Each structure stands twice: as C-alpha cells, then as structure tokens.
Amino acid sequence: MSDPARPVAVLVGPPGAGKTTIGRKLARRLEVPFLDADHLIVDVDGRSIPEIFEADGEAGFRRIEERVIGETLGSFDGVLSLGGGAVLSPVTRERLRGMRVVHLTIGVAEGVKRSRGLGRPLLAGGDATARYQALLTERAPLYREVAWTTVSTERRSSGKVVSEIVDRIESGDPHLRGADGRS
C-alpha cells in the first residue's frame, strides 16, 4: 500500500471542477508544495497539451501523462492535481490506491461554463455540453473508484471547499460533512 502521506492529497475530477485552483489554495493552507500534472507534462515534453494532442493524438498524450504521474506520485509530498482524463489509465488508477484522492465534482452546465476557451482539446468544437456530458459519463465511475473522498465545488467558494478538504484530511474521516452541510 502507498504511503498515505505521499502526496498529502491528489485531486481528480472533470474539467472545470477546480482542481488547479483548489489545489493551489489547499497546498497553501497545508503549507506544502503544489504541482499540476498538466503543467508537469508540458515542462517534461516541451510542448503544450494541444500540441501533444495534435501531433501524438490522445493515446500519445495519455502515455506521457501516465509516465509523469507515476514518477511524481512516488516522490512528491504535497498536493497534486491530475488532469481530468488521468483516471482513464488503469495503471494510474492502481497507483492511486491507498492515497488520499479527493474527487471534486461539478454539474455539466457549470463545468462547461468554467471550461470554455481554456485550450481543452477534448471539449473543442461541436456541442461542448454534449461532449462534456459524454466525458463525465465515461469518467465519473473511474473518479469514484479512486476517490478517498468526494467534495462538490458547485456554487461553493474555493475557501469553503478547501476548508472541508482540510477538515477531512486532518480528521482522517473522508465522510466528514462541511460546515455548510454539503459534501
């Protein structure tokens, strides 16, 4: 089993759920470093995510993502935010077992609104709402599979979300309800 203290928390969830924003604030609150897996991929590969998708396709991107996440999970002691599709890899899901994985949830309409125009190749073109719903349908069971706890970011301030996650981490209780009664 993985050391539950390494990383302190791993954030997963669909595009627009707030993984990067919440991750940065959570790391600051816990006084640990923050890493965003998508930024690591860009740093390691030297190309933007849209460029990787264009040149190597989604399969090529996922291979790079799986490798970078695997290397990071074993050595990082902070808060790590994963890209929305990272859970598609069975290898990554296995590596996440026993870790404090926080599944951030959001509704389709809000997720689409937050994700528009952010260079997300899988949401580009066509009906963004239908594409987002399809991603969520495919990935939601995988997020639940790896989750230690689940927290909604829908219509909630990032501060309240972070406080709820901190309370759960510090108590060791993944089901602890937030002060606003939501989880």
Where residue 68 sits, what CATH number does that domain have? 3.40.50.300
Residue 183 domain-assigned (yes or no): no
pLDDT computed for residue 116 by the predictor: 67
DSSP conformation class of 182: -
Residue 173 domain-assigned (yes or no): no
Residue 181 domain-assigned (yes or no): no
Contact 26, 36 (CB under 8 A): no
Contact 33, 1 (CB under 8 A): no
Collapsing DSSP states into helix, strand and coil, what is residue 148? coil
φ/ψ of 42, rounded to 5, equals -60, -45
Task: Give the C-alpha separation, 96 to 37, whole Å.
Answer: 14
pLDDT computed for residue 157 by the predictor: 92
Please give the average pLDDT of every successive group of 10 residues along the chain, which has 183 residues: 67 93 97 96 93 92 95 93 95 95 93 69 69 91 96 93 95 77 52
**Which domain, by its residues, includes 104?**
9-167
pLDDT computed for residue 78 by the predictor: 96
Residue 180 domain-assigned (yes or no): no
pLDDT computed for residue 124 by the predictor: 59
Residue 105 domain-assigned (yes or no): yes
The predicted model scores a pTM of 0.89
pLDDT computed for residue 31 by the predictor: 96
Residue 4 domain-assigned (yes or no): no
Q: How many domains does the chain have?
A: 1
Residue 111 domain-assigned (yes or no): yes
pLDDT computed for residue 161 by the predictor: 96
Residue 2 domain-assigned (yes or no): no
